[in-house]
Amino acid sequence: MPRNRIDANVRCPSCNGQLYPRTLVCDSCGLKVEGDFVMNEFGSLTPDELHFLRVFIYCEGRIRDMEAALGVSYPTVKGHLASIKEKLNLSGPRFQGTAHEHGTPPAGQVPLEEAPADEVLERLESGQISYKDAVRLLKGKKKGGKGDEQISG
């Protein structure tokens, strides 16, 4: 029978500060690991915000479907998205889809400025870069930018 669980979103009852896990326990064998653990950014979201993200994923990001599922208006959905985006620190420069220290590309990928045109297009298609960034990069290649053969056109 599962033990009573405490929601990780509970705030400190004394000062309302963020609580962090210090002990992890395996329910199967009872092993305990103690230390300073870091929660991911989703740990800071409220249960309502997590529900909103689940609906977003279920609706595959279609705001019209989210309006119907949640019984709210388009501006309300957009407002919730903006709020969560801000809370997850995704409102600054365009989120690139994967986090890499110091801006280094994943293994096997060259920096975008040096990537061939077909790789720029693949990253655009997968959502890793914006249309605006892809156009800028491809225009640079057309003008003889480094790392790619000339693009005719």
> pLDDT by residue (tens digit) across 55-93?
999 999 999 999 999 999 999 999 999 999 888 888 655
Range of the domain at 131: 109-142
In a domain, 76, yes or no: yes
* Residues 114 and 83 placed together within one structural domain of the fold: no
Q: How far apart are CA 64 and CA 107, in angstroms?
A: 38
pLDDT above 70 for 49: yes
Query: Which two structure tokens, joined as six digits, stand for 112?
Result: 């975008």
pLDDT band at 94 (very low <50, low <70, confident <90, very high): low
In a domain, 64, yes or no: yes
Position 72 scores a pLDDT of 93
In a domain, 100, yes or no: no
Torsion of CA 88, 89, 94, 100, to 10 degrees: -90
In a domain, 77, yes or no: yes
Number of domains into which the chain is organized: 2
Question: Of all residues in the chain, what percent carry a pLDDT higher than 70?
Answer: 72
Q: How far apart are CA 116 and CA 141, in angstroms?
A: 8
In a domain, 30, yes or no: no
